[in-house]
Amino acid sequence: MQSTQSTPHFRQYMLITGNYWAFTLTDGALRMLVVLHFHELGYSPLSIAMLFLFYEAFGAITNLVGGWIAARLGLNRTMNLGLALQISALVMLLVPSAYLTVPWVMAAQALSGVAKDLNKMSAKSAVKLMVPQDAEDKLYRLVALLTGSKNSLKGIGFFAGGLLLTLFGFQYAIAIMIVILLLVLVASLMFLEKGLGQIRNKPKFRDIFSKSPAINTLSAARLFLFGARDVWFVVALPVFLSSTLGWNHWSVGSFLALWIIGYGVVQSFAPFLTTQKQKNAPDGRSAFLWVVALSIVPFLIASAVTNNFYTEISLLVGLLIFGALFAVNSSLHSYLIISYANRDSVSLDVGFYYMANALGRLIGTVLSGWVFQMWGLSACLIISGFFLTLSAAISYFLPQFKHPPKALHK
């Protein structure tokens, strides 16, 4: 690994990672700003969910096409394009509150969704190039560290969003984030290497769809895994904490921030929780067993909330357990997709996989607003449990071996 760290590619990867971290921080803050601000304006839970509809839908399209674009043009261009689009989305939200209609905010969120997934795809694809082909344990640790640190920063972004809204109001908070991202974009344009991750043999557009059974299976499992999280997390949970339990913006933002930060920390340590003493990398069986354990938790939380069994305590403790188990599952998936991906066209495989991830978030986001508005938080948690059960059933068919064969990750 030491020789890998001295290569120009590794230094470029570190630049991309720093870029990705800064973007994630502001993206998390924006998510919390939008949810809390529009709830304060009187928007219904379903209307708030609809604000994120294009964010997730365009994210899915971006992942599918973005990997193909990166393979042809280079990861540096997709990263810089993502930053520019996020700045544009934030500028759209600087208009007076009277002009912040649902269609306008949905359009801004569409740009933000494209931006976020261009950044994610670029960073996750780059890690494949940093590790020798036969060093699966090192690959797992590096992927877990990148993913976990990113989510911890997203949690800090949630905290920052609630704080900025409380201290400065919506528009000044947006302006502060624009300045931060402009500085990051300037540094990125100056220092990122041209052509990183670019393929000499230009892939055809039809190559955006994965032909690997392992990647297709993992993508389907990922769709239901993230749908199971967002069906309660995006809208239902913050609105429930605010409207039913009476929490203020600062409390809601702080709790969700701490949840995400803890989630990211657990992701970073997932290799120590899921591998044996001989340091074998995990396989499909690991993904199956961990999602089975996770699937039980939402049903238990729903039962406690429905029966008013110390509702606040049961909810908070249950969500902490859910977050820890979900973090391990997410980290396992993030490693497996990088391991399964073809080394010569990693952005294509990663893009297809994160397209399924975005579709799961899209389904979860819409259901989060609609189901919560119609039937409440318990119903959202029950649907979460069923989604996780489906993810477990799909994960059962993932390849079960300690080191994925070279045919899966040439």
pTM greater than the 0.75 cutoff: yes
Label residue 47 exposed, middle or buried (CB < 10 Å: 0-12, 13-18, 19+). middle
DSSP type of residue 408: G
Q: Which residue has the tokens 């399964």?
A: 340
CA within 13 Å, CB half, 163: 15
pLDDT in tens, the chain (410 residues): 444 444 565 676 677 778 888 888 888 888 888 887 887 778 877 777 777 778 878 877 887 777 777 777 777 788 888 899 999 999 999 988 788 888 888 889 889 888 888 887 777 777 766 666 666 777 777 778 777 887 788 878 877 887 888 888 888 999 999 999 999 899 888 877 776 655 655 556 555 565 688 899 999 999 999 999 999 988 889 889 988 898 887 788 778 878 888 888 898 888 888 775 445 678 889 999 999 999 999 999 999 999 999 999 999 999 999 999 999 999 999 889 888 877 666 777 887 888 888 889 889 988 988 999 899 999 999 999 999 999 999 999 999 865 544 445 44
Torsion of Cα atoms, 173 then 160 then 155 then 349, to 10°? 30
Other beta carbons less than 10 A from residue 248's beta carbon: 13
User: What is the CB neighbour count within 10 angstroms for residue 7?
Assistant: 12
pLDDT the model gives residue 409: 44
pLDDT of residue 131: 66
- Give the CA angle between residues 62, 74, 69 to the nearest 5°: 30
Q: Which token pair is 326?
A: 């979900």
- Alpha carbon distance 45, 370 (integer Å): 7
Cβ proximity of 337 and 221 under 8 Å: no
Sketch the domain layout of the chain as residue ranges.
2-197+206-408
DSSP structure class, residue 281: P
Q: For position 260, what pLDDT does the model report?
A: 82
Q: What 3 state SS string does 337-402 have?
A: HHHHCCHHHHHHHHHHHHHHHHHHHHHHHHHHHHHHHHHCHHHHHHHHHHHHHHHHHHHCCCCCCC
Query: Directed axis angle between helix 213-233 and helix 311-340, to 10°?
Result: 160
pLDDT at residue 372, rounded to an integer: 92
- The helix/strand count (H/E) of the chain reads as 16, 0
2-197+206-408 carries CATH number 3.30.413.10: no
Give the C-alpha separation, 217 to 237, whole Å.
30
Q: Which DSSP string do the residues of 131-142 spell out, in sequence order?
A: S-TT-HHHHHHH
